[in-house]
Every structure is written in C-alpha cells, then in structure tokens.
Structure 1
Amino acid sequence: MARPTPEATAKGGTTHRQVAALFPCVPTTDGAGVKISRIIGTPRLGQIDPFLLFDQFGSDDPDAYISGFPDHPHRGFETVTYMLAGRMRHKDNHGHEGVLGPGGVQWMTAGRGIIHSEMPEQTEGLMQGFQLWVNLPAALKMRAPRYQEFEADQLALSTPAPGVTAKVIAGTLGNRRGPVEGISVDPLYADLRFEPKAAFEVPVATGHTLLLFVFAGEVAIGGVTVPTGSLAVMGSEGEALAMTAGAKGASAMLLAAAPIGEPVVRHGPFVMNTREEIQQALEDYYLGRL
C-alpha cells in the first residue's frame, strides 16, 4: 500500500494526482479454464466505481487459452475487450458474430441482456490482451444491447510527448479522440508506450476515478514507483497525472471515468442495483428472455 505524498503542486500551479494505493494483479482462471491475471475483482480490490473487473490475459501456450469463454450471459454493464496479439471470435444469441484481431477493440454494452461466447481463433501463437467491465447507471441498465467494434487502424494513435506513444480507445488524450463514443461515464481508456526515461503529463477530469496498470517496465508517479503487474489507484485531488518511465521504458493502460455513485449488487455476470433486480435477471436468463 502506498500513501499519497503532499507534493501535489507542479509548475504553474497545476496540481498532480498522487498514488493512493498499489495493487498487484492476481493469477487466476476464468471461462473454461483460461489463465488470466486479475487486476480488479480480487479479494483486495473488488471494484472501484465505475470499474467492476479488469483482467489481463497473455500466453503463447495454447493450453492456457484454447478453451476460451463459451456461452455466458451478461446484464447491466459493459464489457471491453482489447487485443494486443492473437484473434478472438465472438458470437451472441442475437445473431452478431465477428473476429477481433491484433490491436482491435470491442466495447459491448450488454444492457438488458445478452448471451455470448469469446473463443480463440487460433491454435498456436501468442494470445494477449485485456478485458474491462464498466458499470452502467440504473437508468441505462435495461437499454438495448449494442456493440462498438474497431480494428487496430481505426484507433487514434498519437505521440503526446517525446518518447511516448498513445493508442486511444475512448476519450481524449492530447489532440486525439478514441473512436468509442456515447459511454455514460465519460471514460478515458488508452494504451501508453514509453521509451526509457520518457515523461508525460495528462490532464484529468475533476472527480474522475483514475487508474494506471503497468504491464511492462515501471512508471514513477510522484515519489511512487509502479512496477510491472501492478495497478496504481490515484487519489481524488489534482487536475493532471505526471508519469516518468523507468530505465527500460514501460507499457501501461490508463483508465479514468466518472463514478456512478449508486448501489451495486452483483451475481456472477449480472450487475444491478437491487437484489430483486438480480433475481429478475436470473429468472429471465433461465426462461430464455435475455
């Protein structure tokens, strides 16, 4: 656990977000036995509004991923799959089907309900990426399902600082905006790559939850070093985040969004506001109404 430092004021009076806590990812399995590293959704960090779950998957051993994620339901939130390497075929009970390739992203709004599968479209080679679950406010939990899917060349790519490249999935970073639109929590979701010792400062919306997961190298934020495989949860005060990569550079996922501030009741793949709504979701699933 890291504590915020009092050194929050930068040049020109800009205040910087500081690291409030560090959480290492936890090895586990999901789906039909796929080996993953769980970042959010662990015993230490069950959720952080509005993020419900965050997983990293990555292996060049087919036995670790080939079983995939067979048919499973969702209701009341959004799932975001971002592929770094490999190919994943997705298919649902409403007739939607496609393949997500390297560098591609799918932002699925489950809304009132959907049953889908995500299965590897390969039998060898590296499969690597992330899956994020984002909550929906009560007013949108029963909206119609929808997909936003983009291939690698449709994502906004920029160089916001010397030695830093950013692939923006949602939100605005520098002068580039990601292709995912119409998300109620106003997210910023970006893949950052740092050359050795590169520094970068990004403005952050006041009151937004702010997280950084480092998946290669290390990143310094204030007086705290965030190592590989760790999630940094930022404190709530400050209008910018200043980062500096270590001597070997770094790769990190930046996440920010507006908290919803509503009750959360979860039961597996259903996320609602009350127990009664969870019971209704289970009934609808068993009776084939999703």
Structure 2
Amino acid sequence: MKNFIKIVVLLCCCVASAQDKKGETVYFEFDKYTLYEDQVKTIVDFAKKADTTKIESIQIYGYCDDRGENDYNYKLSKNRVETVQNILLANGFNKNKIVVIEGKGRVIVQKDTVSDLDETRSKNRRVDLFFVQKNSYGKGIYNSIQKKHKVGDRIYLENILFDMGSSVLLPSSKLELDKIALLLLQNKTLAFEIKGHVCCTPATYDDAIDKETKQRNLSNNRAKEVYKYLISKGVSRLRMTYKGYGNKFPLGKGDAMDRRVEFLITQI
C-alpha cells in the first residue's frame, strides 16, 4: 500500500554544514503536527542559509510511526508536511519552488529487529526536506534533449513521473513526452535506451510490484510505456530500446524523483 514504507536499513547521515546540505529533517511528538521551537528554528535557519539562486525546487515528505490506523496516519503525515511548508513560506521561501508535498503515512517497523523501539519511532515521526539544485546532475547528465549530444550522455526526464506502484503515464507526463517526441523527430540520428526506475523498495528486492500487472517488473513497465508512447508519436522503434533498473540507482532527491525514466544516448 502506498501509505506503507518498510524499514530494512537505517541510514546514518553525515554531518555537513547547512550551506552544503541538500536536505533537512525535523521531528514531531507522538500524534502531533506542531513543532517545538528548536525544530522550527532548524527549518528557518536552513531556509535562510540555502542559496535559493542554486535551488531548482524543494520536495517535502511527511511520515508517522507505526502506531494507529492507516487513514489517520496518512492525514497526520500530510498535516506535518503542511506545517513545514507554512514555516518556509512565512520565512520568505519562494512558494513556486515547493513542487512536491506528500504525506507518506506510517513507517512500518519489525519490532523484533530494533534494539530501541521508542527511539526508532521518534525518528520516524518526521518530515524530510530535499533540495533539487540547478544543474546538479553532473557532467554528461541533462534534464532535456540538447542540440548536440555524445554517446553516453544521460537525459533525466524530470517531468516524466509516476504514481506510487504504477506504470501508467500521467496526463502531465504525456504532455511532456509530446514535446520530447517533437525534438526527437527533429534529430533523427539520435538513438537511446529508455531506463526505468522505482523507489521505496526493500533492498532484498530488485524491483517493485506493478499494481496494474501484479508482477515485480515495475521499472521495466515504466520504460516500456514511454517506449510505446513515443512510437505512437512517430519516433521509430529502431532508435529505441528499453530496460528496467529497479531500485539500483536512486538519485537521493526524494521518492518522486526515483519514480522516473531516463534516456541513455547510444548513438548520435
């Protein structure tokens, strides 16, 4: 279920200055969506020290611990996200840069696998903030098709995203693919692999389950849907291949960004 996230590995965060950090986390008391002053200050300080000229967008995700009903915790996690968003806006953060706000609901814990259940639960009552920096993809990685490419370039399609557990193209994704198809029809020699990715899957699994097919091949199905749509828009199938890569290559920029599709240029 989309409101469930299984904890398999606890990640330790490296200490970094607020200027260098690409994310922040604040914590809530049990069954609350208001914050103590020290947590409010964490958000305010982080927002003020962030160089907004280098930030493309911000994503905010809220969570609850494992106690209580699913629907209640889903609403509570959304309220926590809205609390953080309102603090950012009240302190001058550009509303247009907040592109994702999502309550994730409960974080499920296997109680016999943690040494300190109370501490684990306290860390799960949280909101995570992720900054997506402008031009932060690195050399040879782009967020749109360029006039000139070289073999090995990657094109990360920011606006080709999917609902949790789904391979169905969203209407907004189809509009974006329409634009991409026009560019590909203008550059007829460009060949590429369509790479599908997923988020939120335990490390013990290579891929996620597609809720449409009930099979564990979600990343491949996402790539295939893009492949089929581009064919429907006149792009030759001889220029394209597709493959699913499961959860092997997270971007570290939030779950929504990991539910993505990329192009890998294979011929120019």
Q: TM-score, normalised by structure 1?
A: 0.29
Q: Name whichever structure is richer in helix by fraction.
A: 2
Larger Rg: 2
Q: TM-score, normalised by structure 2?
A: 0.31
Q: Name whichever structure is richer in strand by fraction.
A: 1
